[in-house]
């Protein structure tokens, strides 16, 4: 999944299990930026992986204890931004259900502290509980992919700059050469 400069997304690549070939392809589909709002994109930059083992999980509400009061005695907000087991937007869960997805894992591709894309894995037959080692391996793949994308982008920038420099250098030389002949 790759984002454009306005954060609209496109499924640019896809790998399907053999029994799913040709049935539910998303490759080439485009999605508007509001499908993954700014707050969610910021969390993808902050937390490079996210998994939902079961889209039908039971939400458990959290009630802060009196130990989580601020100086004035009011209950303090609990920031779960860095929590791997935080709940998910009900709208996102419904989105996944509509796609026939039972479990999902997303790994961020971040370039220059900006969300460039996502590596997304869907499980459609039943809930899936990937162990810590598999999740960590996916995070490392995402980090490596981020570095490769960044390297390719830098290479293109250098080629573009060298081409522009060569072109501009030639422009400065031609009038001077004509003047002195």
pLDDT at 135 over 60: yes
Q: Do 13 and 102 contact (CB within 8 A), yes or no? A: no
pLDDT at 12: 96
pLDDT at 117 over 90: yes
Q: Residue 18: pLDDT band by 50, 70, 90 thresholds?
A: confident
Tokens of 125: 């037959």
Q: Residue 102: pLDDT band by 50, 70, 90 thresholds?
A: very high
pLDDT at 124 over 70: yes
- Give, for 107, the enclosing helix (H) or strand (E): strand 103-111
Q: Residue 90's beta-bridge partner residues?
A: none
Architecture, CATH, for domain 2-179: 2-Layer Sandwich (3.30)
> How far apart, in whole angstroms, are the C-alpha atoms of residue 143 and residue 149?
10
Write down the residue that tokens 């707050």 correspond to: 39
Other CB atoms within a 10 A radius of the CB of residue 153 amount to: 13
Q: Residue 161's beta-bridge partner residues?
A: none
> How far apart, in whole angstroms, are the C-alpha atoms of residue 91 and residue 97?
10
Who wins on pLDDT, 5 or 171?
A: 5
pLDDT at 176: 54
> How far apart, in whole angstroms, are the C-alpha atoms of residue 122 and residue 98?
13
Mean pLDDT in residue range 71-79: 73
**Mean pLDDT lowest among 25-29, 32-36, 67-71:** 67-71
DSSP one-letter code for 82: T
> How far apart, in whole angstroms, are the C-alpha atoms of residue 141 and residue 111?
14
Mean pLDDT in residue range 49-75: 78
Q: Output Rg (C-alpha) for the chain, integer angstroms.
A: 23
């Amino acid at each position: 999944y790759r984002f454009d400069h306005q954060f609209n997304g496109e499924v640019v690549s896809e790998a399907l299990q053999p029994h799913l070939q040709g049935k539910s392809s998303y490759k080439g589909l485009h999605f508007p930026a509001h499908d993954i709002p700014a707050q969610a994109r910021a969390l993808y930059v902050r937390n490079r992986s996210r998994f939902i083992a079961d889209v039908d999980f039971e939400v458990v509400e959290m009630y802060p204890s009196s130990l989580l009061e601020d100086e004035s005695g009011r209950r303090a907000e609990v920031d779960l931004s860095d929590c791997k087991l935080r709940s998910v937007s009900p709208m996102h869960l419904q989105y996944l259900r509509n796609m026939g997805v039972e479990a999902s894992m997303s790994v961020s591709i971040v370039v220059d502290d900006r969300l460039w894309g996502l590596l997304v894995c869907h499980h459609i037959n039943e809930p899936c509980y990937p162990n810590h080692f598999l999740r960590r391996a996916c995070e490392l793949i995402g980090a490596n992919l981020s570095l490769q994308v960044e390297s390719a982008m830098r290479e293109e920038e250098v080629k573009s700059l060298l081409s522009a420099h060569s072109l501009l250098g030639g422009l400065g030389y031609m009038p001077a050469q004509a003047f002195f002949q």
